[in-house]
Amino acid sequence: MIGWLGGILNVVRPALRSSRVLLVKHAPEILMGMGTAGTISAVVVAAKSGPKAQALIKEAEEEKGLKMQQDKDSENNPWHPKVYVKLDWKETVKATWKVILPPALMTLASLGCFWGAYGIGVHRQAVLAGLWSTAEAALMEQQRKLDEMIGKQGREELNRAIAEDKAANTKLPQNTIVLQGGTDMWCIIDGTPFRSSYLKIKDAQNMANHQMFNDMYLSEADLYWLLDPNREYLKPGPNSGMIGWSVDKMLVLNIESCLGPDHEPMLVVDYQDKDGYPYPPQAGYWKSM
């Protein structure tokens, strides 16, 4: 018997553990779904409770009017017509609380779900921002130590070697029609190829810093739109609006010329600050102003 129960527990425990992990991971989505379902249910219940509440109010008004008539002349006038007297808010709540309470509780529960999902999202963003800051600080420390060991020229050679690897390992779009005689060539940023030129990229950099000075920050999606105004190649991801740069430091788009997989000239674009250190887009960039 004990062995049979132990076998069941050995099967159930991993399933419960996996279920708990999924619930924690998708808690915001689950709470948003529960809040939406609760809001819709509250609206339906409130619509059905409305006529009942009106009937109860009308009945309470009639009883109140009848009681007032009886108090005035209960002996000489045994018959009393229906008289409706307006209820105050306390009497209204007393008469209708049984039908009003369910949709009110459902609405409060739905709001609690929405606020819970929002709180979890804010907490996760704060954790991610903290991890990002820690990783960025570690990267900057490594870059400084690397400069001490190999010098500025060695760092430039290292950046060029990394750019050449990116160019060699990037797959260009197939069946792309490129007009001959143009000044644009294939460029790579964040592993994504797009058509541009050295001057256009530098113009986009100047416009990006100008926008950053005006708005105090710049998102990755904004930079993509400046680099690819026609939006033919660079497609901002779902989180591109959540990462970016603040006005604390100027953004420099470092450009390395390399040979692509078919030995055609390509430009590899990377993010740097004015001192030549990596300056990738940061989470919570709008909070650092």
Residues 6-41 pLDDT 10s = 556 565 566 666 666 666 677 778 888 888 888 888
Residues 184 and 278 in one domain: yes
pLDDT digits (tens, 9 = 90+) for 86-97: 777 787 778 788
Determine, yes or no, domain membership for 163. no
- Residue 17 is predicted with a pLDDT of 65
Of the pLDDT bands very low, low, confident and very high (cuts 50, 70, 90), residue 3 is low
Residues 174 and 129 in one domain: no
Q: Which of 114, 133, 152 is the endpoint of a domain?
A: 133
Domain that holds residue 116: 2-133
Determine, yes or no, domain membership for 140. no
Residues 179 and 266 in one domain: yes
Cβ–Cβ under 8 Å, residues 168 and 260: yes
Determine, yes or no, domain membership for 275. yes
Residues 177 and 270 in one domain: yes
Determine, yes or no, domain membership for 141. no
Determine, yes or no, domain membership for 145. no
Determine, yes or no, domain membership for 97. yes
Residue from 281, 242, 251 nearest 122 by CA: 242
- Residue 83 is predicted with a pLDDT of 60
Return the bridge partners of 58, or none: none
196-211 exposure pattern, b = at least 16 Cβ within 10 A, e = fewer: beeebbeebbeebbeb
Q: Which residue has the higher pLDDT, 2 or 210?
A: 210
- Residue 210 is predicted with a pLDDT of 92
HSE-CB at 289 with a 13 A cutoff on CA atoms is 12
Q: Which of 81, 115, 133 is the endpoint of a domain?
A: 133
Residues 181 and 96 in one domain: no
Q: Which residue has the higher pLDDT, 55 or 223?
A: 223
Residue 76 has pLDDT above 60, yes or no: no
pLDDT digits (tens, 9 = 90+) for 237-282: 888 888 889 888 889 999 988 887 777 788 999 998 887 788 888 8
For the sheet with 192-196, list strands across it. 192-196, 185-189, 265-272, 252-259
Residues 26 and 99 in one domain: yes
Residue 2 has pLDDT above 60, yes or no: no
Long-range contacts at 57-63 (CB < 8 A, ≥ 24 apart): 57/87, 57/92, 57/95, 57/96, 58/84, 59/95, 60/87, 60/91, 60/92, 60/94, 60/95, 61/85, 61/86, 61/87
d(CA 194, CA 197): 10
Determine, yes or no, domain membership for 248. yes
Residues 129 and 219 in one domain: no
Cβ–Cβ under 8 Å, residues 103 and 45: yes
Q: Which residue has the higher pLDDT, 140 or 43?
A: 43
- Residue 43 is predicted with a pLDDT of 85
- Can you tell me the mean pLDDT for 120-137? 72
Residues 128 and 175 in one domain: no
Determine, yes or no, domain membership for 165. no
- Can you tell me the mean pLDDT for 39-61? 82
- Residue 25 is predicted with a pLDDT of 73
pLDDT digits (tens, 9 = 90+) for 57-70: 788 777 777 776 66
Residues 9 and 124 in one domain: yes
Cβ–Cβ under 8 Å, residues 24 and 63: no
Cβ–Cβ under 8 Å, residues 267 and 202: no
Which range has the worst mean pLDDT, 89-98, 99-108, 145-154, 266-275?
145-154
Q: Which of 110, 133, 156 is the endpoint of a domain?
A: 133
Residues 179 and 94 in one domain: no
Residues 83 and 191 in one domain: no
Return the bridge partners of 283, or none: 243
Q: Which residue has the higher pLDDT, 220 or 98?
A: 220
Residues 117 and 194 in one domain: no
Of the pLDDT bands very low, low, confident and very high (cuts 50, 70, 90), residue 46 is confident
Q: How many domains does the chain have?
A: 2
- Residue 174 is predicted with a pLDDT of 67
- Can you tell me the mean pLDDT for 139-156? 73
pLDDT digits (tens, 9 = 90+) for 158-195: 777 877 788 777 777 765 555 444 578 889 998 888 99
- Residue 180 is predicted with a pLDDT of 47
243-281 exposure pattern, b = at least 16 Cβ within 10 A, e = fewer: bbbbbeeebbbbbbebebeeeeebbbbbbbbeeebebeb
213-242 exposure pattern, b = at least 16 Cβ within 10 A, e = fewer: eeeebbbbbbbbbbbbeeeebbebeeebeb
pLDDT digits (tens, 9 = 90+) for 195-214: 999 999 999 999 999 998 88
